[in-house]
Structure 1
Amino acid sequence: MKGFVDNIEQLTEDNNDFRRVLYTGHNLQLVLMAIQPGDEIGEEVHDDRDQFFRIEGGTGEIWIDGVCNTVKADDGIIVPQGARHNVISTGSEPLRLYTIYGPPEHIDGTVHATCAAAASAHEHFDGKTTE
């Protein structure tokens, strides 16, 4: 099958990996994340890509250029290219979300089980798509 079709809400709620790349196209990439309580993605800037976040469970903060936004299930967030941002899990349950990068950020099929594993990896999109 071409493309990606599945129940994204269920996949996101069932995901326990810090980062799991589900699908990589030429211009977009779909990634699941489960950020454990007290963990964060770490402050970053994507100079060449936009990023969309959809929160499916838990509570947290998304900082965009120094502004704190409290987030919860059903919230959607867009971080434009060049914006300094961070995502922090502040609740007692993991912050479960999916994110869409445009263009892709990670190597297709990447799975980082923990925040520490992601921090030690230095992979970036290599141009290879899912299909």
Structure 2
Amino acid sequence: MKISDNGPEPNAFDIERATKENANYRTVAWTGKYLQVTLMSIPAGESIGLEVHPETDQFLRLDAGRGRAKMGPSKDELTFQQDVSDGWSVQVPAGTWHDVENIGDEPMRLYAVYAPVHHAPGLVQKTADEAQRDEESGADEPPSWSVEPEGGQPDEHA
């Protein structure tokens, strides 16, 4: 299925089909002024990556595979743990350290909704390493037309 991030214009697509067919670590599917939709595929034994978004709420929904959601007030204190699978959602409040590990034997397919916008529109990152390089180089920045918190704190990764 081909999807195209058309920026803050009206859009509709079969998100479950697109999520299940997405083989990339991250594909930015739609970028609005205030929120963003990304598709993710996490290989067996790997994870999204432990991180915190100080000013970004996040909603994740699994459409394939099995995972373990971990969240807490610090990277060393992940007091919330829940096994999740197809149909489960995970809500991550801003400022919460979080990760979702693939505990199954097939790719874990999920989508994420960020508010505010978190990534460059239309960005496709095949691997987690590519995503990290894009972040470090500045290639993965929200567009100038999105509304970002004033004086925002940067994300952190463990």
* 1:81 maps onto 2:94 in alignment: yes
Q: Is the 8 A contact 1:19 1:114 kept in 2?
A: yes
Do the aligned partners of 1:28 and 1:103 also contact (CA within 8 Å) in 2? yes
Deviation (angstroms), 1:118: 1.3
Percent identity (aligned): 34
2:81 maps to 68
The 3-state SS of whatever aligns with 1:121 is helix
**Post-superposition shift, 1:125?**
1.4
| Segments of 4+ moved more than 3 angstroms | none
- 1:126 equivalent in alignment to 2:126: no
The TM-score normalised by the length of structure 2 is: 0.78
For structure 1, the residue ranges without an aligned partner over 5 or more in a row are none
TM normalised by structure 1 equals 0.93
Cα distance in 2 for partners of 1:117, 1:128 equals: 25
1:47 aligns with 2:47: no
Shift of 1:83: 0.4
1:1-131 correspondence to structure 2 within 5 Å: 2-65=9-72, 66=78, 67-122=80-135, 123-128=140-145
1:51–1:79 CA contact under 8 A, matched in 2: yes
1:39 and 1:115 map into 2 onto residues whose CA distance is: 10
The count of aligned residue pairs is 129
2: CA distance, partners of 1:71 / 1:14: 19
Gaps of at least 5 residues in structure 2 are 1-5, 73-77, 147-158
Contact 1:44 1:85 (C-alpha < 8 Å) held by counterparts: yes
Larger strand proportion of the pair:
1
Q: CA RMSD in A?
A: 1.4
> What amino acid maps onto 1:22 in structure 2?
A
Offset of residue 128 of structure 1 = 4.2
Larger Rg: 2
C-alpha distance in structure 2 between counterparts of 1:96 and 1:17, whole Å: 10
